Amino acid sequence: MGLLQYDAGRDGFIDLMELKLMMEKLGAPQTHLGLKSMIKEVDEDFDGKLSFREFLLIFHKAAAGELQEESGLMALAKLSEIDVALEGVKGAKNFFEAKVHALACASKFEAELKAEQEERKQEEEKRRIRQAAFRELKATFST
């Protein structure tokens, strides 16, 4: 799955936490403030997250030279595996949806992993209790 996929909430938007994950995966981690300002720069409807339209805007601004060289958005535009100019909007939409989907998968996978670890911990705990009970039982018989 070449496209790393970023909308954990599966709502068709990329929110702050998802953007954080995305930037880390792209190898350009951002501070909390950096992430907020990235979203703010293209967040036309002020909902604090990126829609597909706003996501596209990043690439348009990059192409038009409207992004600061050092900005997180510039890093995102450069590092994302898509050239909107070449791929066109359809390619970009597929990319965005793939990102959204992959993020969802990634967070689902993490949740499943956590549940599994939790289960294992409980098993351990039960085993310890059983062993302790067995030891006590043995102790009562051996007196």
Query: Is pLDDT above 90 for 107?
Result: no
Residue predicted with more confidence, 100 or 123: 123
Phi then psi for residue 50, to 5 deg, are -100, 125
What was the pLDDT predicted at 2? 32
**Token pair recorded at residue 81:** 């595996």
Whether the CB-CB separation of 117 and 63 falls below 8 Å is answered with: no
The lowest-confidence range among 62-66, 74-78, 80-84, 137-141 is: 80-84
Chain position carrying tokens 């085993």: 127
Residue predicted with more confidence, 110 or 41: 41
CB within 8 Å of 47: residues ≥ 6 apart: 13
Which residue ranges make up each domain of the chain? 3-79, 88-142
Phi then psi for residue 24, to 5 deg, are -65, -45
What was the pLDDT predicted at 133? 85
Query: Is pLDDT above 50 for 118?
Result: yes
| Mean pLDDT calculated for residue range 40-66 | 91
Query: Is pLDDT above 70 for 10?
Result: no
Domain 3-79: assigned CATH number: 1.10.238.10
Beta bridge partners of 50: 14
